[in-house]
Chain A
Amino acid sequence: NAGVTQTPKFRVLKTGQSMTLLCAQDMNHEYMYWYRQDPGMGLRLIHYSVGEGTTAKGEVPDGYNVSRLKKQNFLLGLESAAPSQTSVYFCASRPSGNPYSNQPQHFGDGTRLSIL
């Protein structure tokens, strides 16, 4: 099993360009998450999904959109990239269950995105 796969691994964009980051998991997990990681800060949740066809905002959702059309895929879109969105983006997934079941999240290897 590949686990959680993120594509691309690296990307450089110009301000105003758009792009989509793809996260794919082959573990049949219900929950999926997109985070960004910036120097000196902890991981911050952008958007998440608790199942196919559902999405919800996290801590820093502005400037991003997401879609979960298929259970195994969670897409993160930047409609008009800004330099402030330069970051490392991580996708994660975990099995379903009551929040108190507390299953660990499985992370992808990250996407390093630079906006010039």
Chain B
Amino acid sequence: KNEVEQSPQNLTAQEGEFITINCSYSVGISALHWLQQHPGGGIVSLFMLSSGKKKHGRLIATINIQEKHSSLHITASHPRDSAVYICAVRKGGSEKLVFGKGMKLTVNP
């Protein structure tokens, strides 16, 4: 069983919809990262969370440490949000990140 699971694996939405991407993990962590990978391949860090909630523009990330679960929300989705969204966790005391397989989001106009 993967230590980091993302759901759904693929999602197609219409422009303007509210989107939620989920990440569950099975290990103790010191932080959770949300990353975005565009079709061109580049990877950008969106958020890093150890507790609570963070917001940047139309993106909101939450984490529930007790339930070992995080969500990434996109409000008023736009075609430019089309990308692969990757969840990664840093295990407590480790230098290394463990990555989920990613979720491919397509937002149609």
A interface residue numbers (CB < 8 A to B): 31, 40-45, 48, 50, 56, 58-59, 88, 90, 92, 99-100, 102-107, 109-110, 112
CA distance A85 to B102 in the complex (A): 21
Chain B contacts for A50, CB-based, 8 A: 95
Chain A contacts for B69, CB-based, 8 A: none
CA distance A100 to B83 in the complex (A): 29
Q: Identify 13 new A-B residue pairs, CB closer than 8 A, beyond the known A31-B95, A42-B2, A42-B88.
A: A41-B101, A42-B98, A43-B86, A43-B99, A44-B99, A92-B43, A99-B30, A99-B90, A102-B48, A103-B48, A107-B42, A109-B41, A112-B41
B interface residue numbers (CB < 8 A to A): 2, 4, 30-31, 33, 35, 40-45, 48, 50, 86, 88, 90, 93-102
B43 close to A107 (CB less than 8 A): yes
Provide 6 A-B residue pairs closer than 8 Å at the C-beta atoms, listed in order of the A residue: A41-B101, A59-B96, A100-B30, A102-B31, A104-B45, A107-B43
A-B contact count (CB 8 A): 59
Closest to B9 in A: A40
CB distance from A32 to the nearest CB of B (A): 11
A90 close to B95 (CB less than 8 A): no
B44 close to A40 (CB less than 8 A): no
Closest to A107 in B: B43
Chain B contacts for A110, CB-based, 8 A: 41-43
CA distance A71 to B86 in the complex (A): 28
Chain A contacts for B101, CB-based, 8 A: 40-42
